[in-house]
A and B are shown apart, each in its own frame.
Chain A
Amino acid sequence: MSSVVQAQGIGRRFGRRWAVARLDLVVGANERLLVIGPNGCGKTTLLRILSTLSVPDQGTLTLFEGKSNPRENLALMAHEPGVYEDLSATDNLRVIAQLASKSTTSIPDILESVGLEDRSEPVSTYSAGMRRRLALAVLLLQQPKLALLDEPFAQMDPAGIAQVSTSILELPGAVIIASHQVQHAAPLCTRAILMDEGQIRWQGPASKAEAAWRALHVERGEL
């Protein structure tokens, strides 16, 4: 099976603290990986390194088996929606589609799939949940071979979570989801890793992620 991510001993340091340290990870072309872990364990830093927006301070990262310009094939749904506050959802998707050389014909369908159709007001007036939906719409527009999603269910109501889950399942290629909401994210993934202090503490099937997550809490005396 071809891999989209091959990370060997990657690490990223902020000051004297290693947010991610000596981490090895291989992700297959159509694999769905769940990344869980407590706050500050390095999930967001790992996704930023994999997105190439952060350069690792140690180790080597190979994306898409070393093919040129990996950014053409990946997309990141970060904490911010990655759009322009003064434009509407439709205008934002149109602008991004033009810049990324993507077709604009699918924009109405994408907006409908994330529940943002008929929204002509600027993004600055959107709620936090609507911003997450728009961020996912940007990802759906890009149709990447590697989608990186950082807390896709944050600030979502139950209906939004169901809608977003369906949209995530429609994403082509490999998907890496970093989330605290294991019960919502695990059914969308095949494999999971549990991170703690910048390193992988456990890895296994996504169906066992919640048990591993609980075990970490018990070990820390938090349950």
Chain B
Amino acid sequence: MNTMLQILQKDLFIEWRARSRTISLISFAYTILLLFSFAVGPNAVAMRQHAAAYLWLSILLSSTLLLDRSMRIEIEAGALHTLLLAPVSKAGLFYGKALANTFQLMVLAGISIPLIYVICDATLVESAGWLILTAILGTAGLAAPGTLYSAMTARMTGKQLLLPLLLFPLVVPVIVAAVKATTLAMLGDPMDQIGAWLTLLICFDLVYWSLCGVLFGRVIEA
């Protein structure tokens, strides 16, 4: 637990020190959202109906940059070897990094949602609590497998291409559930389905966080 908190603190500290990269990441997410709005055109109904999909696709595409960078900082100057020889617990290392990635993706989601409301003229029929809970569970579902795969691809040639190729198919269920839950929160949930989608997200998160935590140690030692 102590190692996990230290890694979380360390990763967030590094991101704070290199915050120009965070600004680039937010700009990238905003650009994707604007491109979606340009591609759909002046169709307010379609924009409103698909606002949740645009939001989550923007987060997914931006997440590959963030996840790739999260492991690159460990590899580029050999810091990972220092950590392994420190020695830090590999489970602590994984959960610390995955939590740091979840937190950053949540911030990205929090910053993207206002733009979605502006460009898609979106509504919020249900409680904002549902939207926040969906954002937490959805970003956690991206962060755990993303942290594992970024560790797996960090030393490979063509890692920028490999990471999304490996990650995207795995997180399709998370994206589907997050988009459905967000859409229900935004447009209304007359049949009380949001709870079922969030339960599905919780199940995926539990599986990903436990499985990836077990596999991470083997991946970084290899």
Contact = CB atoms under 8 A, between A and B. Distances in A.
A200 B45 CA distance: 76
Contacts of B158: none
Interface of A: 51-53, 69, 71-72, 74-76, 78-87, 91, 95-96, 98-100, 122-123, 131, 138, 142
B219 to A, nearest CB: 14
Contacts of B78: 78-83
Task: Choose among A87, A122, A131, A142 the residue with the greatest number of B CB atoms under 10 Å from its CB.
Answer: A87
Interface of B is mostly: helix
Task: Choose among B13, B78, B84 the residue with the greatest number of A CB atoms under 10 Å from its CB.
Answer: B78
23 contacts: A51-B85, A53-B84, A71-B85, A76-B85, A78-B78, A78-B81, A80-B77, A80-B81, A81-B77, A82-B79, A82-B81, A83-B82, A84-B77, A85-B73, A85-B76, A87-B13, A95-B13, A96-B82, A96-B86, A98-B10, A99-B7, A100-B88, A122-B18
Ordered nearest first, which 5 A-B pairs have the shortest CB separation? Answer: A80-B78, A82-B82, A71-B87, A100-B86, A86-B18
B17 interface: yes
B196 interface: no
Nearest to A96: B82
A136 to B, nearest CB: 13
A148 to B, nearest CB: 10
A109 B101 CA distance: 35
B14 A86 contact: yes
Given A85-B73, A91-B17, A98-B6, A69 B87 contact: yes
A83 B78 CA distance: 6
A72 B87 contact: yes
A161 B10 CA distance: 32
Nearest to A71: B87
Given A82-B78, A96-B86, A100-B88, 9 more contacts: A71-B84, A71-B87, A78-B78, A80-B76, A80-B81, A81-B78, A82-B82, A83-B77, A84-B77
Given A84-B14, A91-B17, A99 B83 contact: yes
A180 B3 CA distance: 38
Contacts of A74: 85
A91 to B, nearest CB: 7
A49 to B, nearest CB: 13
A4 to B, nearest CB: 15
A85 B84 contact: no
Given A86-B14, A87-B17, A122-B17, A99 B85 contact: no
Interface string B55-94: 0000000000000000001001111011111111000000
A51 B82 CA distance: 11
A205 B28 CA distance: 60
Nearest to A53: B81
Contacts of A52: 85
A97 to B, nearest CB: 10
A91 B10 CA distance: 10
B82 A86 contact: no
B81 A99 contact: no
Contacts of B7: 99
B85 A53 contact: yes
Contacts of B73: 84-86
B133 to A, nearest CB: 32
Contacts of A100: 86, 88
A63 to B, nearest CB: 12
Contacts of A86: 14, 17-18, 73
B83 to A, nearest CB: 6
A76 B88 contact: no
Task: Choose among B17, B86, B88 the residue with the greatest number of A CB atoms under 10 Å from its CB.
Answer: B86
Contacts of B18: 86, 122
B73 to A, nearest CB: 6
A25 to B, nearest CB: 20
B150 to A, nearest CB: 16
Task: Choose among A83, A99, A100 the residue with the greatest number of B CB atoms under 10 Å from its CB.
Answer: A99
B79 A83 contact: yes
A65 B17 CA distance: 42
